[in-house]
């Protein structure tokens, strides 16, 4: 293929990936999913009942993989068997995925608090009504973007995997990235804004999540507002980097031209990884120098 | 996910053996009926396969519930992914070598692989979960029957060439993989907590099963509308019935279900 | 009837590749620094997610890269190297952005609680741990361990995919790609979950004391991959 067209496709994929990563993370923040949800789950037990959505479908990778696989499969059927246009097929696929995701979320919203009867956690129906729309909307955006990425990979870049499988794999990847990056912003900072910034989170604080909002009682939509400042975009960047860089190396050094160029693509990839390692080291050093140690060496000896 | 509660034996109103018989017989009858009736009378009956899969899902969900209440060291989802990973291998192998006995062969092989993994977990890796061996065997078997059931509905028969060209080659098997895994692990995961009740968890298993059925209906719509309509209609009906039942059980079990309101007061909590 | 012995004898080399691939996945999981739920609250060192999830995310990204390269070449080394690099890029982007959130979003420096000095950078760790936590973030040795782990996962996944795709068969390429890819995903998940059970869901990487449990996972992984490898091989070979 014309290398410039390939670059354009890759840029489009990267843009879609940034959107997918961001919406994936915000979807898991507004509904509270994956690891930070353990605090939402623990809070009533520590006598802190709350008004936060408890969306324990599964870890983010499986639930996102499911959304994307449903979207990819539906889109593939509408395109191949019914001859619908690509954009409509993908949109309808994402709609079906969002509806299914809404059903799974509702089950968890009812189920987890109902299993906490002894801690007196009520089930607030208005929380369900206001949050489920946002959850499904983000699920739609995530699925739409991921299926678009997969479709571009197959039609423009000639990837051999079928659409449903590729969407499934990217769903796993975006979920893994979202739960590793953006969720930390929600779990370690937003849920515990009552502790001093940078002091770390003492394990004794577990379950003591912030339950009061800027106005009224805090809910998932307040968390969404906060996490869209940093956690969401960071997730988007991470996923876009993954999609773009892993595609870029084989596009610039196309292994179909010759074996040597194929090996160059591997070397280019290793250099990128090395740069990321060095970047991380610089980050670590600057953080250590800026923040300084929590305790002096003497205390450590005495203790 | 770490908040798994204290390790204890889960109380079951319906005994595990009963659910196991329901799962195995129900799914095998569904799969065979779906296979033969579709061949004899046309694609209208293909929904029976996924109806059988729902029985297997309920069985799998009940097993996850029993094993995960011991606290298995990592999240509930991983055991679902393990089950369905073994299930994919056992299901396709069983259908290929078994011919007409395919689903049964797949079931037997899955049970054996599951037992081996359970033994490795307890004997070599020293997980120390009392029912690990039987639980992994049951979950693997349930995962396999789910995959076979859904694939039978999608392909119209469980003949391997049909399944490979209608479910595997176009990648739909990835959907079967993940929707089966979620249907097995999600019911317990979404009801995790000290006051979890078996009937409520199993109601979610039916809801999740109905979603599997609806999605299967969408998939078969690409092949024949005659098989899509009954699958979609029955799937929606099961969803409505199971959801209504689940909501009534939630209202029975929850501390209270309110339209809106403030948090419980200090006096209320103490 | 399918002749099992003939299929296995013909593809014995590929069976070996599958076993090695599965084993690499299981070993790779032991390298991935994952702190589970506490890490998502910055209460323990590592990435704030589950082992299976992060390893699967990285390994399957590698599988996508390997699948693309497999399309144009049948050179085993190039295919698995591409899988490895794809997975490494995914896991290092994730850990880098994760660290940024720990540092700028939560305000804690990366520090490990299991060791006093970082084995690679020789930095003092214990002083930088905030009160009442088991470390936080991804320090350099965890980062490098994660890159190795992700790389091994991608390498293993790509190796399984390559082997299954090369099995002699009598069916169309489209069918074989479908079967090989889903079997690779399945074998990947089985090995990742087994390895995850072995370390109890969390680890800091190669310097973690739990790393010594590796031999148990190796034995289990070989047994399980052998069984699932044979079954998948016969399924593809018999068509």
Q: Which residue of C has its CA nearest to B118?
A: C194
Q: Which helix (H) or strand (E) segment is C111 a member of?
A: strand C111-112
Name, in order, each residue with C-beta under 8 angstroms of A209's C-beta and a sequence gap of 6 or more. Answer: A39, A40, A43, A48, A50, A52, A191, A192
CA distance A227 to chain B (A): 21
> Comparing C-alpha atoms, which of A151, A175, A176 is closest to residue A162?
A151
Both structure tokens of C223: 């047994």
Residue B25 lies in a domain: yes
**Cα–Cα distance between C136 and B77 in angstroms, integer?**
24
Out of B2, B81, B164, name the one closest to residue C179 (CB): B164
Cβ distance of B171 and A76 shorter than 8 Å: yes
Residues 230..269 of A with a Cβ closer than 8 Å to B: which? Answer: none
pLDDT tier for residue C182 given thresholds of 50, 70 and 90: very high
∠ at Cα C238 (C234, C239), nearest 5°?
130
pLDDT of residue A270: 96
Q: State what percent of residues in chain C have pLDDT above 90.
A: 50
CA distance A126 to chain C (A): 28
pLDDT of residue A201: 85
pLDDT of residue B224: 84
**Contact between residue C67 and residue A159 where contact means Cβ atoms under 8 Å apart:** yes
Q: Which residue of B has its CA nearest to A61?
A: B77
ipTM value for the complex: 0.93
Cβ distance of C231 and B117 shorter than 8 Å: no
Q: Which helix (H) or strand (E) segment is A264 a member of?
A: helix A259-291
pLDDT of residue B81: 84
For A258-284, the pLDDT digits (tens) are 889 999 999 999 999 999 999 999 999
Both structure tokens of C118: 């970082």
Cβ distance of B124 and C219 shorter than 8 Å: yes
Residue B84 lies in a domain: yes
Q: Which residue range forms the structural domain that includes residue B121?
A: 16-255
Out of A81, A107, A161, name the one closest to residue B207 (CB): A107
Query: Where exactly are the structural domains of chain C?
Result: 4-237
Q: Which residue of A has its CA nearest to B201?
A: A111
State whether residue C46 sits within 8 Å of chain B by CB.
no
pLDDT of residue A77: 93
Residue B116 lies in a domain: yes
Cβ distance of C189 and B113 shorter than 8 Å: no
In sign, the C-alpha dihedral spanning B71, B77, B81, B84 is positive
Residue B68 lies in a domain: yes
**Contact between residue A93 and residue A84 where contact means Cβ atoms under 8 Å apart:** no
Residue B7 lies in a domain: no
Out of B2, B78, B165, name the one closest to residue C193 (CB): B78
DSSP letter, residue B168 = I
Residue numbers in A near B221 (CB within 8 A): 77, 81
Q: Is A19 a residue whose pLDDT tops 90?
A: yes
**Cα–Cα distance between C18 and B93 in angstroms, integer?**
16
Q: Which residue of C has its CA nearest to A37?
A: C37
CA distance A92 to chain B (A): 11
Helix (H, G, I), strand (E, B) or coil at B158: coil
What residues does B257 pair with on adjacent strands?
A123
Both structure tokens of A158: 């000639």
Cβ distance of A179 and C40 shorter than 8 Å: yes
Name, in order, each residue with C-beta under 8 angstroms of B149's C-beta and a sequence gap of 6 or more. Answer: B27, B30, B31, B34, B49, B50, B51, B52, B53, B54, B56
Out of C50, C189, C190, name the one closest to residue B75 (CB): C50
Of the residues C186, C188, C214, C217, the best mutation for testing chain B's interface (the one with the most B CB atoms within 10 Å of its CB) is C186
pLDDT of residue A138: 96
**Cα–Cα distance between C45 and C65 in angstroms, integer?**
29
Torsion (CA) B192, A57, A235, C68 in degrees, nearest 10: 130
**Cα–Cα distance between B143 and A256 in angstroms, integer?**
40
Q: How many CB atoms lie within 10 A of CB B81?
A: 33
**Contact between residue B154 and residue B216 where contact means Cβ atoms under 8 Å apart:** yes
Strands C135-136 and C111-112 turn out to be: antiparallel
Residue numbers in A near B253 (CB within 8 A): 114-115, 117
∠ at Cα B51 (B218, B249), nearest 5°?
100
Residue numbers in A near B64 (CB within 8 A): none
pLDDT tier for residue C72 given thresholds of 50, 70 and 90: confident
Residue B270 lies in a domain: no
**Contact between residue B85 and residue C193 where contact means Cβ atoms under 8 Å apart:** yes
**Cα–Cα distance between B75 and C229 in angstroms, integer?**
26
Q: How many CB atoms lie within 10 A of CB A207?
A: 19
State whether residue C225 sits within 8 Å of chain B by CB.
no
Name, in order, each residue with C-beta under 8 angstroms of C51's C-beta and a sequence gap of 6 or more. Answer: B74, C29, C32, C34, C36, C192, C195, C196, C199, C201, C202, C203
pLDDT of residue B10: 62
pLDDT of residue B183: 93
**Contact between residue C101 and residue A184 where contact means Cβ atoms under 8 Å apart:** yes
For C125-143, the pLDDT digits (tens) are 888 998 888 889 999 999 9
pLDDT tier for residue A216 given thresholds of 50, 70 and 90: confident
Query: DSSP letter string over B233-251?
Result: HHHHHHHHHHHHHHHHHHH
Residue numbers in A near C57 (CB within 8 A): 61, 172-173, 175-177
The values of phi and psi at residue A2, to 5°, are -60, 120
- Three-class SS of A37-92: HHHHHHHHHHCCCCCCCCCCCCCHHHHHHHHHHHHHHHHHHHHHCCCCCHHHHHHH
Cβ distance of B93 and C36 shorter than 8 Å: no
**Contact between residue B83 and residue B75 where contact means Cβ atoms under 8 Å apart:** no
State whether residue B97 sits within 8 Å of chain A by CB.
no
Alpha helices in B69-131, H assignment, sequence order: 76-98, 102-119
Out of B186, B192, B256, name the one closest to residue A122 (CB): B256
Cβ distance of B190 and A166 shorter than 8 Å: no
Out of B82, B125, B177, name the one closest to residue C182 (CB): B177
On whether the pTM is more than 0.80, the answer is: yes
State whether residue B134 sits within 8 Å of chain A by CB.
no
* Look-up of token digits 């017989």: B25
Name, in order, each residue with C-beta under 8 angstroms of A202's C-beta and a sequence gap of 6 or more. Answer: A195, C130, C131, C132, C133
Residues in chain A, total? 303
Name, in order, each residue with C-beta under 8 angstroms of C13's C-beta and a sequence gap of 6 or more. Answer: none
pLDDT of residue B2: 37
Of the residues A20, A65, A188, A204, the best mutation for testing chain C's interface (the one with the most C CB atoms within 10 Å of its CB) is A188
Residue B49 lies in a domain: yes
∠ at Cα C146 (A11, A296), nearest 5°?
115
Q: Which helix (H) or strand (E) segment is A124 a member of?
A: strand A123-124
Cβ distance of A69 and B178 shorter than 8 Å: yes
Helix (H, G, I), strand (E, B) or coil at C35: coil
Q: Is A11 a residue whose pLDDT tops 70?
A: yes
Cα distances (Å, whole numbers) of residue C215 to A159, B123, C20, C56: 37, 14, 14, 21
- Three-class SS of A191-221: CCCCCCCCCCCCHHHCCCCCCECCCCECCHH
Number of A–C residue contacts, CB under 8 Å: 294
Name, in order, each residue with C-beta under 8 angstroms of C31's C-beta and a sequence gap of 6 or more. Answer: C145, C146, C148, C149, C150, C152, C205, C206
Number of domains in chain B: 1
pLDDT of residue B146: 94
Of the residues C51, C178, C213, the best mutation for testing chain B's interface (the one with the most B CB atoms within 10 Å of its CB) is C178
Residue numbers in C near B96 (CB within 8 A): 2, 234-235, 238-239
Residues 30..59 of C with a Cβ closer than 8 Å to A: which? Answer: 36-43, 47-50, 52-54, 56-58
Helix (H, G, I), strand (E, B) or coil at A123: strand
State whether residue C57 sits within 8 Å of chain B by CB.
no
**Cα–Cα distance between C146 and C55 in angstroms, integer?**
9
Average confidence (pLDDT) over C89-117: 92
**Cα–Cα distance between B17 and A156 in angstroms, integer?**
53
Cβ distance of A256 and C41 shorter than 8 Å: no
State whether residue A47 sits within 8 Å of chain B by CB.
yes
Cα distances (Å, whole numbers) of residue C118 to A38, A193, C29, C48, C162: 30, 30, 21, 20, 37
pLDDT of residue B6: 44
pLDDT averaged per 10 residues in sequence order, chain B, 270 residues:
45 84 94 91 89 94 85 68 87 90 93 90 78 88 94 90 91 93 91 89 95 94 88 95 95 91 83
Q: Which residue of A has its CA nearest to B179?
A: A66
**Contact between residue C24 and residue C161 where contact means Cβ atoms under 8 Å apart:** no
CA distance A170 to chain B (A): 12
State whether residue C72 sits within 8 Å of chain A by CB.
yes
Q: What is the largest CA-CA distance in chain A?
A: 75
pLDDT of residue A302: 47
Cβ distance of C69 and A259 shorter than 8 Å: no
């Amino acid at each position: 293929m014309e290398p410039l067209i390939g670059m354009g496709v890759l840029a489009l994929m990267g843009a879609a990936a940034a959107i997918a990563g961001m919406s994936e993370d915000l979807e898991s923040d507004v509904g509270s999913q994956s690891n930070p949800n353990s605090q939402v789950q623990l809070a009533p037990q520590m006598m802190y009942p709350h008004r936060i959505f408890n969306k324990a479908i599964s870890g983010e990778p499986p639930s996102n993989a499911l959304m994307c696989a449903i979207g990819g499969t539906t889109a593939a059927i509408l395109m191949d068997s019914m001859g619908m246009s690509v954009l409509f097929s993908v949109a309808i696929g994402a709609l079906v995925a969002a509806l299914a995701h809404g059903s799974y979320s509702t089950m968890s919203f009812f189920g987890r608090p109902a299993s906490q009867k002894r801690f007196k956690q009520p089930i607030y129906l208005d929380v369900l009504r206001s949050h489920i729309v946002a959850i499904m909307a983000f699920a739609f955006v995530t699925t739409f973007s991921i299926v678009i990425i997969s479709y571009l990979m197959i039609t423009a870049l000639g990837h051999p995997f079928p659409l449903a499988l590729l969407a499934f794999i990217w769903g796993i990847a975006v979920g893994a990235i979202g739960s590793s990056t953006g969720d930390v912003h929600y779990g370690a900072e937003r849920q515990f804004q009552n502790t001093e910034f940078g002091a770390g989170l003492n394990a004794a604080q577990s379950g003591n999540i912030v339950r009061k909002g800027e106005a009224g009682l805090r809910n998932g939509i307040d968390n969404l507002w906060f996490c869209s400042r940093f956690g969401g975009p960071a997730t988007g960047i991470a996923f876009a980097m993954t999609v773009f860089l892993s595609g870029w190396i084989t596009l610039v050094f196309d292994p179909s031209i010759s074996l040597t160029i194929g090996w160059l693509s591997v070397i280019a990839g290793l250099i990128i990884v090395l740069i990321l390692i060095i970047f991380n080291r610089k980050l670590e050093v600057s953080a250590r120098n800026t923040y300084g140690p929590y305790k002096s060496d003497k205390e450590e000896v005495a203790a | 996910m770490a908040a798994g509660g204290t390790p204890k034996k889960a109380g079951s109103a319906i005994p595990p053996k009963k659910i196991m018989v329901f799962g195995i017989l129900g799914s095998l009858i569904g799969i065979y009926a779906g296979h033969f009736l579709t061949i004899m009378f046309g694609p209208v009956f293909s929904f029976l396969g996924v109806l059988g899969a729902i029985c297997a899902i309920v069985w799998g969900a009940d097993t996850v519930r029993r094993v995960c209440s011991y606290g298995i060291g990592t999240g509930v989802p991983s055991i679902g992914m393990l089950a369905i990973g073994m299930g994919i291998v056992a299901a396709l192998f069983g259908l290929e070598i078994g011919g007409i006995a395919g689903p049964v062969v797949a079931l037997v092989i899955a049970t054996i692989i599951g037992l081996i993994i359970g033994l490795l977990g307890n004997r070599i890796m020293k997980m120390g979960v009392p029912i690990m061996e039987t639980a992994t065997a049951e979950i693997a078997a349930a995962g396999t029957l789910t995959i076979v059931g859904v694939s039978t509905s999608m392909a119209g028969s469980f003949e391997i060439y049909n399944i490979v060209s209608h479910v595997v080659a176009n990648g739909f098997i990835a959907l079967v993989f993940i929707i089966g895994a979620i249907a097995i692990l999600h019911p317990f995961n979404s009801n995790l907590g000290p006051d979890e009740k078996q009937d409520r968890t199993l109601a979610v298993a039916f809801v999740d099963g109905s979603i599997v059925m609806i999605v299967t209906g969408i998939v078969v719509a690409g092949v024949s509308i005659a098989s899509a309509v009954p699958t979609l209609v029955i799937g929606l009906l099961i969803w409505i019935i199971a959801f209504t039942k689940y909501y009534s059980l939630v209202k029975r079990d929850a501390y209270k279900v309110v339209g809106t309101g403030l948090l419980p007061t200090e006096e209320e909590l103490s | 009837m399918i002749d099992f012995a003939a299929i296995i004898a013909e593809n014995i080399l590929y069976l070996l590749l599958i076993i090695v691939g599965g084993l690499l996945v299981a070993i790779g999981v032991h390298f991935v620094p994952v702190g589970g739920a506490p890490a998502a609250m910055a209460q323990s060192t590592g990435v704030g997610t589950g082992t299976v999830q992060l390893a699967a995310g990285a390994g399957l990204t590698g599988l996508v890269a390997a699948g693309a390269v497999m399309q144009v070449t049948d050179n085993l080394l190039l295919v698995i190297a591409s899988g490895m690099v794809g997975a490494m890029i995914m896991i290092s982007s994730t850990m880098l952005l994760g660290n940024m959130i720990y540092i700028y979003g939560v305000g804690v420096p990366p520090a490990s609680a299991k060791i006093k000095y970082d084995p690679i950078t020789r930095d003092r760790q214990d002083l930088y741990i905030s009160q009442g936590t088991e470390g936080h973030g991804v320090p350099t040795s965890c980062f490098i361990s994660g890159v190795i782990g992700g790389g091994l996962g991608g390498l293993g996944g790509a190796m399984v995919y390559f082997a299954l795709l090369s099995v002699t068969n009598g069916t169309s390429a489209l069918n074989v790609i479908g079967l090989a890819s889903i079997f690779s995903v399945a074998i990947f998940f089985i090995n990742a979950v087994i390895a995850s059970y072995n370390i109890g869901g969390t680890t800091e990487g190669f310097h973690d004391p739990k790393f010594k449990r590796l031999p148990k996972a190796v034995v289990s992984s070989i047994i399980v991959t052998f069984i699932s490898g044979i079954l998948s091989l016969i399924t593809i070979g018999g068509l």
